[in-house]
């Protein structure tokens, strides 16, 4: 059976499209690997998510934070900025204080985030990857 010029061009176009798709996926993975920081990726296709979303995260923090007595009595408040990694399994690791408030408030913020339940991990090209994350936690003392 003879192949017409039109059919042959169509085959070439399909093959070229397939090759471009394969190269794009490969290049995307290589680019993502280059953007991996020492603690995890900072740009991903799908960001990590607390189980139940942001409303559930706020509820977890509200229930889990124990305001340090001395800070509460003194009326001390502030905002602690934490950095951490949500690993490939959704576990929290490498929790650090980026912007401190007081030692007691910093320690409480680290404690409650470290005790967090497993998150839904971040993804690049459908694969779970460790992701760097930052979270501010505000402490408002009311006398």
Q: What's the confidence (pLDDT) of residue 57?
A: 96
pLDDT exceeds cutoff 70 at 93? yes
The rounded distance, in Å, linking the Cα atoms of 19 and 131 is 30
The model's pLDDT over 5-61, given as tens digits with 9 standing for 90+, comes to: 656 655 554 444 433 433 333 334 434 444 555 557 889 999 999 999 999 999 999
Sheet holding 92-99, edge to edge: 92-99, 78-86, 131-139
As beta bridge partners, residue 129 has: 122
40 or 99, which is more confident: 99
Backbone angles phi and psi of 45, in degrees to 5: -70, -40
Residues 63-83, mean pLDDT to the nearest whole number: 94
Give the angle subtended at the CA of 106 by the CAs of 101 and 122, to the nearest 5°: 115
CA 120 – CA 136 distance, rounded (Å): 19
- How many C-beta atoms surround the C-beta of residue 120 within 10 A? 16
Alpha helices in the chain (DSSP H): 5-34, 53-64, 69-74, 103-114
């Amino acid at each position: 059976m003879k192949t017409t010029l039109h059919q042959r061009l169509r085959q070439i176009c399909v093959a070229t499209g397939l090759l471009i798709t394969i190269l794009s996926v490969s290049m995307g993975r290589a680019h993502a690997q280059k953007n991996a920081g020492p603690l995890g990726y900072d740009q991903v296709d799908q960001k990590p998510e607390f189980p139940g979303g942001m409303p559930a995260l706020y509820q977890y923090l509200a229930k889990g934070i124990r305001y340090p007595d001395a800070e509460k009595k003194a009326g001390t408040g502030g905002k602690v900025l934490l950095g951490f990694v949500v690993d490939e399994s959704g576990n929290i690791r490498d929790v650090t204080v980026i912007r401190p408030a007081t030692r007691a408030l910093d320690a409480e913020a680290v404690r409650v985030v470290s005790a967090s339940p497993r998150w839904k991990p971040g993804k690049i090209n459908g694969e779970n990857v460790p992701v760097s994350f930052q979270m501010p936690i505000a402490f408002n003392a009311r006398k």
